[in-house]
A and B are shown apart, each in its own frame.
Chain A
Amino acid sequence: MSMLLEVSGVSVSFDGFKAINNLSFNIGSAELRAIIGPNGAGKTTFMDIVTGKTRPDEGRVIWGEKSVSLLKMSEAQIAQSGVGRKFQKPTVFEDQTVQENLLVALKKPRGWLAVLGYRPTVEDLGRVDALAEEIGLTDQLSRLAGELSHGQKQWLEIGMLLAQEPRLLLVDEPAAGMTVTERQHTTDILVEAAKTRAVVVVEHDMEFVRRLNCKVTVLHEGSVLAEGSLDHVTANQDVIDVYLGR
């Protein structure tokens, strides 16, 4: 299987504290992966590096079939080349309607001049309707995003990422603060999405990870501690010591 993203030998430190230490990580083009690890294991910093927010001190981040390095690209360029990121807290444009949120996210030319002259076509609006259907917000299209519930905002954000048509989706703790049924729905969205693209989910909640039913990578002190199925890693003594044993 060809690799979509290859992270190798990456290290980064803040004021002497090593947040990521010689981390290596690969993911294929249509794969669902969960990353777990205790607080401070470097999960969020890992996402920061892939999305270009943080520049590593050393190491390589290679992307796609053409094997381009992401390290020299800006956040916007990385996003345009197909990396979508969902933040821990739901971040949607609360002052705008659900429809506007999704329209902004649609995969269209991103330059300001093109955007200035852009007016949505019938297909675009149809695509937005389809996305709303997928994330279960069809009834809410004309509501302001700020008025949505916490779970609906999370879905809207995921919907915006899907509208972007990314090849890699990085999702940070999507289930935090959700009810059981909302979690079920979130799992469905993610599993469905992973059929056509790579999805990386950072999560604390073991039950949620179990339901995703995918390969798991355990991070600890900025590097990979174990990798494999959930049953495999939970049986690993190291993992039990640093994470599960607590």
Chain B
Amino acid sequence: MQRSFIARNPSVLIFLSLLALFTLVVTVLSEGVGSGLISTSFIKTLGKTLCLCLIAVAMDLIWGFAGILSLGHFAFFGLGGYMIGMWLMYERTRLIVVDSLSQTEIPPTEAEVVDAIGTQIFGVVGSSEFPLIWGFADSLTLQLMLVVLVPGLLALVFGWLAFRSRVTGVYLSILTQAMTLALALYLFQNDSGLRGNNGLSGLQNLPGVTASQDLVSLWFLWASAFALGAGYLLAAWVVSGKFGSVIRGIRDNEARVRFLGYSVEAYKLAIFTLTACIAAIAGALYYPQAGIINPAEIAPIASIYLAVWVAIGGRGRLYGAVIGAAFVSLLSTWFTGGQAPDLPLGFYTVKWVDWWLVLLGLSFVAVTLFAPKGIGGLIDLIAQRASKKETGQ
């Protein structure tokens, strides 16, 4: 009766194999080490897409499995990005500053170096003082811990407040949306300590690394693929056991779970915080590839798109979330990047840059109405047919 976790979930193995294969193929075709068929900028796009798939997995956990439609997970994603961005920007600026100060006749004191870094980083917001929150920015280890700790703590506090007062359903969705809006508005201020709407930039340059972007982009692709694989495995493990039973129970019938003696609030808080941490890690890998992070990234709309990806991919299925995120975000890049050919209708030429969002919006309505299980549901259907055929034979 007791089989290993992987054996009971063959889809996990299939997914991990496909992910490994994908990474291998991309590596072989890359500019950095391979044939150069795939450009470095597209490698970055693929790496970023893997990060988006990871946050989609988190979204599927919280929405597809636990039934909590969070419209604020991009807040955690962005915070993760900010936390790693702080170190990247600090360390890179420090190297530049030390380099330029070493040209002077008198070697700089530590205070002078810090002052110069401060002026470099905060000059755009008319300041040169380091805010308190940058206290750990000089330590990669500490800042990496903050990547998980800060969003995790925010999720914990917000979740505790929200779940404790039994805010559910649509109300909770709106509340999470308010949370991300509040955070975005706060970060937009110049005195937020994170450079206001300028955000953190130059993140694609790893301090002290002389390797070319061709190579760096590959490292990040590998890291993103590894993180996605690990996140997927973790998510699959979490939902496969009794914990998965309980959170799906909460989704389908909260009162039943409660009267069975489970503290629904504690479970919600646990899964909310866990997914926030996964989202933060995804963000910490995404923004060094994007190169820049600013508060607009965590505006409420971003989190709604996240829900769109998961819904189109098919929620309640982890691979559905991955497919949805990859499919829609890549398609989006293709259409809005101007690569898609215009569609001449004779009387009017459809420019996809203008019409892609209209198409996305309407197709989203169509998916909700006609295919509530999304693309993942379609795959399930095909898999069922296939297995029926087998047993039939």
Contact = CB atoms under 8 A, between A and B. Distances in A.
- A–B in direct contact per CB < 8 Å: yes
Interface of A: 51, 53, 74-77, 79-80, 84-85, 87, 91-96, 100, 103-105, 110-113, 115-116, 118-120, 122, 125, 160, 164
A164 B261 contact: yes
Given A91-B255, A93-B256, A118-B242, A112 B266 contact: yes
A74 B248 contact: no
5 contacts: A91-B256, A110-B263, A115-B241, A120-B242, A122-B1
Contact of A164 (B260, B263, B264): B260
Q: Is the interface of B mostly helix, strand, loop or mixed?
A: helix
Interface residues of B, number: 25
A76 to B, nearest CB: 4
Contacts of A119: 2, 241-242
Given A93-B245, A103-B245, A116 B262 contact: no
A76 B242 CA distance: 17
Contacts of B262: 76, 110, 115
A63 to B, nearest CB: 14
A96 B263 contact: no
B372 to A, nearest CB: 14
B114 to A, nearest CB: 42
B249 A93 contact: yes
Contacts of A103: 242, 245
Contact of B270 (A94, A112, A118, A122): A112
Nearest to B245: A104
Given A112-B267, A118-B241, A125-B1, A104 B249 contact: yes
Contacts of B191: none
Contacts of B260: 79, 104-105, 160, 164
Contact of B258 (A79, A92, A112): A79
A95 B242 CA distance: 14
Nearest to B264: A76
A91 B264 CA distance: 16
A60 to B, nearest CB: 22
